[in-house]
Chain A
C-alpha cells in the first residue's frame, strides 16, 4: 500500500501488477482493488492477468469491480501466461487456452464493462499478436531489451493493419529494475522465472541496476514507439520508488 501511495504521489502515471497462481504473490485484482483505495490518479494495470485461469463471467466481474472502485482507472492486460502449473492448479484446461482467451475477450466486449476501458493483450506467438489486433486496444509486451520490444511493436502494428483496425495499437512495455540490492533482485528474478530454465539467467542479466541503464532503456523504448512503460521493482522496498523517481526526473 505504501508503494501504491508513493507511486500515486510521484511522477508516475500507471501502477502495474503481475499474475501468477502457483507462487507466493498477490492476486492481481485484489492487489489493484487495495491500490484503488489509496490512490487517486494513476492508472491501475494488470500486466498481464492470465485470463483462462478464471471463467469469463468471473473475470468480467473482477475487472469491473476494480474499475468501479478506482473510478474507471483500470487498464486490463490479458494473456495466456507461460506456465502450465498455474492451469493445473486452477483446474483450467491448458490445451485450449488460446481459444478460451479469445472467447473471454469477446465476452468482455459484450456487456458490463466500461465501454472505453483499455484492454491490452499480450503474448509472443503470431496467434497471440493476431488475437491482440482482433480484440484488443493495444499490446502489452513481456519485457526484454528495446530491440526485442521494437520487433514486437512492428509485429503488433503489422497485425493491426492486417485486421483492418483503424489507427494504431497502444504499445505497453515493461522492465525490471533494482537500484541498490541488485543481488537480491537478480535472485528474485531467477526464482520467479525458474520455470523458463536457462532463460531465467537471461532475464536476471537484463535487470536494470543503474540510473544510466534505466535512462537508456527508457529512451530505447520511447524510440521504438512505446506509449507506456512500466518499470517493475525486483526488490520489495518502497525506497526503490524514490530512487526511480530521482532517475526519471534527472
Chain B
C-alpha cells in the first residue's frame, strides 16, 4: 500500500511508524512544510491512560518518550496569593521538539520517506499517486480544505499566548491573578529538566483593558514577567513565536472521504485547557493503523477508524468546551473561598466528581467537606450534608426531594385562587395544610387544562374558566386566549398572593415566576411585549415579603430557550432584582415560557444556569435538572454551583432487600 501523509507532526509521524512497522512493504511518505528542527510551542501533556496505548502500539518509541517525560501528580492552584496543592492527578509532559525528534528518528529507521520543507500546494493531485492520503496537517489543514470536508472551525475561549519559562515547576500550576481589569490566568507545567510551559490567558475585555492587544511580542513578555514576578520566582519567560491568539475549535461531520482521511487536529481539536490534543492525535494514529490492518477494503477501514475514534473524541470535545467556557468566566468565581474555588476548578469539565476526588486526593476533599460544615480542621460528611441556614431556617442538609432524609420536600404547584389553577385537580392555597416548601402560583395562560396525567397543556373539554395573562396571547396554538390583565386584575392577583402568604404554614414559601405561568409570562418579551416587565412580578414579591417573614424562594425561568426571548443574561439580571426585593433563594429552572422552546435535556441540564445565577447575581440557588445521584449533589454543592439540590433518585431493587429484617445473631 502506498500512503502519503501530509504533515509531520506527532500524529502523522506516528501513523507512518505504525504502518511501516505493521508491514515494511508499505510505501509511506511524510510531507512536512517545516525544517526538521523547527517547531513552535513548548511542552505537550499526556495522561497516564494514553501511555498504555503507546506502549502496546510501539514499545521502542514508548520507552524513549516515557524516559524523557516530566511526570507529576500534583495540581497547584495559586489564587488570592494562596497556594493550594492537590494530589492524585497523574500527568506527564514532554518537549514537543523532543517528541518530534524521537518520532522522526524512529520513522527514518523504519524506512519512512520523510521530506521536510515540502509544501503541498495541491493535495488533490497527490491522491492519484497513492492508495491513501492522510491529512495530518493540523488546525488549518490544506487537505481538509482541498477535499471539501464540512468542517466547522471557530475561535473558542479567551485570547492566550504560549510561553516557555526556565522555571522548572514540580506540578501542573494554575495561577489566577487579579488585575484592575479582571482576572488573568496561567496554565503551566514542566516538560523537561530545564523548562516549563507557561500559557497566559484572559477574557477579551481584560486583554484589551490591559492593552495586551496593542503590545509587541517583547512588550507582552515584559508585561507578563512583571505580572507573574512572584510566581516566576525571578525566572524569565521565553518566546518561541509566542503571539497572542485564539484557540481554533475544529469539528468535522466526517473524517474520511473515499481514500482521504483526516487525523489529529485536522479532524478535531480540543481546547488546550484539558491538555488532550496530542494524546487524541496519537491515539487517532493507533486507531487508523489498527483499522487498516484489520480491514482489507479501504472504505471499511476508514469507517471503522472513524467509528472507534468518533465517540472518544466527542467526549473530550464536550469536556473541552466546558473547560474553555469555564476559563472564559472564571473571574465570576473570584468571591469563592480558596478551597471551594480550587474544587470548582478541578471539577470544571464534569469529568471529575466529588467521588473521583475522594479517590484522587482524600485530604483535599476532607478539608473541603470540613470547611463547608464550619471547620476546615474537622471531619464532616460530604457537601450535600453540610448544614445551611436560610433566613434563620436551619437545614440539616442540602437535599430537596421526595426522599426520607431530605432537608426539604417540594410541593406541587398550589394556586392562590381558583382561577389560577392549572387544572381542576390543582391544589388551592386556601386548602393547603402544613408544607415543607409551599409553591404558590397562578397558572395564567396555562390554566384550565386537563390533569397532567393525560398530557400537559391540553385545554379542558368542559368547565374551562377565563384565563388571565400579561397579554391576550394563547400559550400554544391550541390553547384558549387569555384576557390581558388590567390594573384591577393585577391588584386582585397581588392581594391573592399576599393572602396566601399570610395564611401559609410552611418552612419555605416559593413563588412561581417560571415556565410561562402568570408571573413568568409577565417577565418574558415573548409573552409580554410591552412595558416594564418586572414591575408587576416585583409588586407581588414585595406584597408577599410584607406578609411572610420566613425564607422566600422564587422559581424562575432563567432563560426562555427561545429566539427573541429572555437570555441567561436577562435571567441573571432578573434574579438580582428579585434578590434585592426580598427573595432569599432562586429556584433555577428554564424554558416553557412558550410551548415551542428549544431545551437541551440531559443529566444536570440546569447546573450551569444555576452556577451563573449564583456566581453573577450573588444569590443562593436551588437546582434540579434530572440529578439522580448524591455524587452529583456533592459535586455541585462542593463547587458552589448551587446551595440546594433537587434530587430525583430512582427506586432501587436493593431497597426491598435492605428492608428485610436482620436475623437475630446469638453472640457466643
Q: Which of A61-116 contact B (CB under 8 A)?
A: 98-99, 102-103, 105-106, 109
Give bound CA distance, A168 to B455, whole Å: 12
Is the CB–CB distance between B598 and A129 below 8 Å?
A: no
The B-contacting residues of A in range 128-152, CB under 8 angstroms, are 129-130, 133-136, 147, 151
Is A155 a contact of B478 with CB atoms below 8 Å? Answer: no
Contact bitstring B408-426, A, C-beta under 8 A = 1, else 0:
0000010000000000000
A166 to B452, Cβ gap below 8 A? yes
Asked if residues A102 and B595 are in contact (CB atoms below 8 Å), the reply is yes
Q: Mark A173-200, 1 if CB is under 8 A from B, else 0.
A: 0000000000000000000000000100
Question: From residue B485, how far is it (CB to closest CB) to chain A in Å?
Answer: 24
Q: Is the CB–CB distance between B254 and A165 below 8 Å?
A: no
Closest residue of chain B to A129 (Cβ to Cβ) is B601
A contact residues around B173 at 8 Å (CB): none
Chain A residues whose CB sits within 8 angstroms of the CB of B476 once the complex forms: 102, 106
A159 at the interface (CB under 8 A from B): yes
Q: Are B601 and A164 in contact (CB under 8 A)?
A: no
Distance in Å from the Cβ of B201 to the closest Cβ of chain A? 31
- The answer to whether A159 touches B601 (Cβ under 8 A) is yes
A169 to chain B, nearest CB (A): 12
A127 within 8 A of B: yes
Known A-B contacts A109-B458, A134-B456, A163-B452; A158 and B602 likewise in contact (beta carbons under 8 Å): yes
Contact A161 B254 (CB under 8 A): no
The B620-637 residues at the A interface (CB cut-off 8 A) are 624-626
Contacting A at CB under 8 A, from B297-342, are 299, 303-304, 307, 311
CB distance from A140 to the nearest CB of B (A): 16
* Size bracket of the A interface: 20 to 34
- The reply to whether A126 and B626 form a contact with Cβ atoms under 8 Å apart is no
Please tell me if B259 contacts chain A, counting CB pairs below 8 Å.
no
- Given A134-B455, A165-B456, the answer on whether A205 and B601 have CB atoms closer than 8 Å is no
Q: Do A155 and B596 have beta carbons less than 8 Å apart? A: no
Residues in A with CB closer than 8 Å to B311 are 147
Is B477 part of the binding interface, using a Cβ–Cβ cutoff of 8 Å?
yes
Given contacts A161-B626, A163-B452, are A130 and B599 in contact (CB under 8 A)? yes
**A243 at interface by CB-CB < 8 Å:** no
A164 and B413 form a contact (CB under 8 A) = yes
Residues on the A chain within 8 Å of B457, using CB: 134
Complex interface: chain B residues within 8 A of A109 (CB): 454-455, 458
B602 lies within 8 A of A155 (CB): yes
Q: Which of A127, A159, A166, A201 makes the CB contact (< 8 A) with B598? A: A127
B589 → chain A, closest Cβ, in Å? Answer: 8
Residue contact B456 to A158, C-beta cutoff 8 Å: no
B598 engages A158 (CB within 8 Å): no
A125 within 8 A of B: yes
Judge whether B452 and A103 touch: CB under 8 Å: no
Whether A162 touches B599, Cβ cut-off 8 Å, given contacts A102-B476, A202-B307, is: yes
A135 and B455: CB pair below 8 A? Answer: yes
Contacts of B192 in A (CB 8 A): none
Structural contact, B253 and A198, CB atoms closer than 8 A: yes
Instruction: Report B278-311 CB contacts with A as 1/0, cut-off 8 Å.
Output: 0000000000000000000001000110010001
A to B contact number (C-beta, < 8 Å): 89
Interface string of B437-455 (1 = CB under 8 A from A): 0000000000000001111
From B456, B624, B625, B648, contact of A163 by CB (8 A): B456
How many angstroms from the CA of A166 to the CA of B454 in the assembled complex? Answer: 9
Task: Find out whether the CB atom of B598 lies under 8 angstroms from the CB atom of A161.
Answer: no
The verdict on A154 contacting chain B, using a C-beta distance below 8 Å, is: yes
Minimum C-beta distance from B480 to chain A (A):
12
Query: Is B597 at the interface (CB under 8 A from chain A)?
Result: yes
CB of B452 within 8 A of CB of A198, answer: no
Interface: A157 (CB within 8 A): yes
Assembled-state Cα–Cα distance A170/B385 (Å): 33
At the interface, yes or no: B592 with Cβ under 8 Å from chain A? yes
Shortest beta-carbon distance, B331 to chain A, in Å?
A: 30
Known contacts A98-B596, A99-B596, A154-B626; A162 and B601 CB within 8 A of each other: yes
In the complex, the answer to whether A164 meets B456 with C-beta atoms within 8 Å is yes
The verdict on B603 contacting chain A, using a C-beta distance below 8 Å, is yes
Q: Is B605 an interface residue (CB 8 A)?
A: yes
B303 and A202 form a contact (CB under 8 A): yes
Do B453 and A103 touch across chains, with their CB atoms under 8 A apart? Answer: no
- Of chain B, the residue at the smallest CB distance from A127 is B598
Q: By the criterion CB–CB under 8 Å, are A126 and B453 in contact?
A: no
> What 0/1 readout, one digit per residue, does chain B (350-375) give for beta carbons within 8 Å of chain A?
00000000000000000000000000
Given A109-B455, A126-B600, A154-B603, residue A162 in contact with residue B592 (CB < 8 A): yes
Do A158 and B601 have beta carbons less than 8 Å apart? yes
B626 near A157 (CB under 8 angstroms)? yes
Contact digits for B582-607, partner A, Cβ 8 Å, 1 yes 0 no: 00000001011001111111110100
Residues of B within 8 A of A99 (CB): 477, 596
Q: Which A residues touch B600, using CB under 8 A? A: 126
How far does the Cβ of B464 sit from chain A's closest Cβ, in whole Å? Answer: 14
Q: Is the CB of A127 within 8 A of B597?
A: yes
B561-601 at interface with A (beta carbon < 8 Å): 561, 589, 591-592, 595-601
Chain B residues with CB below 8 A from A102, complex form:
476-477, 595-596
Query: Contact between B601 and A106 (Cβ–Cβ < 8 Å)?
Result: no
A145 closest partner in B (C-beta):
B311
- A-B interface, 3 closest residue pairs, ranked by CB to CB distance from nearest: A158-B626, A155-B601, A126-B599
15 new A-B contacts, CB < 8 A, other than A165-B456, A205-B303, are A99-B596, A102-B476, A103-B477, A106-B478, A126-B597, A126-B600, A130-B591, A147-B311, A157-B626, A158-B625, A162-B599, A163-B592, A165-B453, A201-B303, A205-B304
In the complex, 13 of the A-B residue pairs with CB atoms within 8 angstroms, ordered by the A residue number, are A98-B596, A102-B595, A126-B600, A126-B601, A129-B601, A133-B456, A135-B455, A158-B605, A158-B625, A161-B648, A162-B592, A164-B413, A164-B456
- Chain A positions near chain B (C-beta within 8 angstroms): 98-99, 102-103, 105-106, 109, 125-127, 129-130, 133-136, 147, 151, 154-159, 161-166, 198, 201-202, 205
